Amino acid sequence: MKNPDLKTLAGMIDHTNLKPFATEDDFRKLCAEAAEYGFAMVAVNESPVSFCKSLLKGTGVHVGAAIAFPLGQTEIRCKAAETEAAIEAGADEIDYVLNVGKLKEGNDAYIREEMQTIVEICRKYGVICKVIFENCYLTKDEIRRAALIAREVRPDYIKTSTGFGIGGATPEDVRLMKETVGDLVKVKAAGGIRSYASAKAMIDQGAERIGTSSGITIIREFLEEQEKACR
C-alpha cells in the first residue's frame, strides 16, 4: 500500500483499552478520542460494549468486543453465547481468540468448526468478524494452517495477537498471513504497535487494520513526518 493519508490511516486504527481495571472514565476518554481522531473502532471487552455504544452514537465509530479474551480457552458454545451477548449489547465488530491449544494439537476440524460458528453468527447480524491467532505461540506452519482455514471459512479479518501474549505483531507474520489468504480475507496487526514506523511496517506487508492503544501517538508521528516532508 502506498503511504496513507491522514483520514485513511486514522480509519485503519482500532483504538484499544482491554485492561481488566479500566473504568467508565477510561472508556469515556477512549470513545472521545476515537470520535475526535476518526478511528475505525474502539476495542473493549464485552462488559462495556453497551456503554461505549451509547457514547459513540452518531459518530460513525464502531464498537468492537473481544471474545474469549485473551486466552481463547473456552468451549465453542461459550464463545458463541458471548458473541451473541456482545452483539445484542451493540457490538459492531467481534474479535475472538481461537483455541490455540487445539491448533497446536493439529485439530484443524475443531478450529474450522469454531471459526464457522462465530463467523455465521456475525454474518447473521451483519457484524464484522476477526479471528485472533496469537502468533507468538505458533510456528509458521501453524499460522499458515489457521490462515488456510480462514481462507475457506472467510471471516472478515485474521489478526496477529491479543497484545497479552509473550509477543505481538511482526511484519513477517503479517506478510505470511496475507500471502496465505490473499484478497479473500483481510489482516489486522495488533500487539506492540506503538509508533507510526511500526504501524507503517505492518501496513506495508498487507495489514488493513491496526489494533493499538497508541493510536494518538501514531497519528501525531504521522503528522510530524508530513510536516518534515513539506519543509
Q: Any idea which residues carry the catalytic annotation?
A: 95, 159, 188
Strand residue runs (E) in the chain: 13-16, 41-45, 62-67, 93-97, 128-132, 157-159, 186-190, 207-212
β-strand pairing of 157-159 with 186-190: parallel
Assess contact for 172 and 140: CB atoms under 8 A. no
| Selection from 197, 202, 201, 205 nearest residue 221 by Cα | 197
Looking at residue 152, its amino acid is: E
- Cis omega (within 30 of 0) on the bond before 70? yes
- Per the document, the length of the chain is 231
Rounded CA-CA distance 178/182 in Å is 5
- Chain-centre distance for alpha carbon 88: 20
Rounded CA-CA distance 127/74 in Å is 21
Largest CA distance in the chain: 57
